[in-house]
Amino acid sequence: MHQPVQPSHSNPQSHDIRVLCHHIFPPTDSAPAHSCGSPALRGQAFCFYHHSGRKRALTRSEQQARNRERRLARRTVNVLLPRSRTELLHSLNQVMSLIAADQIDCRRAGLLLEALKTAGNALRE
């Protein structure tokens, strides 16, 4: 199925020979088996869409989970700036409650916990 195509450059010294994608579509009721026909990636047997290194499309549930994470990441979270040990424990309790209720994304929760740890160290001094 290697079919050379005219080089894309007009330079006569160019040896750019393109190969068509080796992907074969299975036969259906309306069409027999046929090849893709798109140009293959340079040095590869398949085009961009049929290459094994291409990321697969997300399923509907994966897309919904990704959108949910994005919404959680944009959600406003108000945590008190602790000035005492009691306020520090209150802020820590607040972040833990958000994590337990799955109302905050893991990255933001980690950042807040790290900030509370730093605030706790500062309060000790």
Task: Please name the residue that has the structure tokens 């607040």.
Answer: 94
- Exposed (0-12), middle (13-18) or buried (19+): which is 87, by Cβ within 10 Å? middle
The region, left, alpha or beta by phi > 0 then psi within -120 to 50, assigned to residue 49 is: alpha
Last residue of a domain, one of 56, 83, 100: 56
Structural domain for 38, as ranges: 1-56
Whether residue 36 sits in one domain with residue 68: no
Bridge partners of residue 39, in order along the sequence: 20
pLDDT one-digit tens code per residue, 90-123: 999 999 998 888 888 888 899 999 999 999 999 8
Look at 4-13, 14-23, 32-41, 84-93 and tell me which has the smallest mean pLDDT.
Answer: 4-13
Whether residue 67 sits in one domain with residue 41: no
Give the pLDDT score at 113: 94
Residue 3 contacts residue 45 (beta carbons within 8 Å): no
Whether residue 47 sits in one domain with residue 2: yes
* Mean pLDDT in residue range 80-97: 91
pTM of this structure: 0.47
Whether residue 115 sits in one domain with residue 64: yes
Distance CA 14, CA 124 (A): 71
Query: Would you place residue 84 in the very low, low, confident or very high pLDDT band (cuts 50, 70, 90)?
Result: very high
Tell me what the pLDDT averaged over the chain comes to. Answer: 82
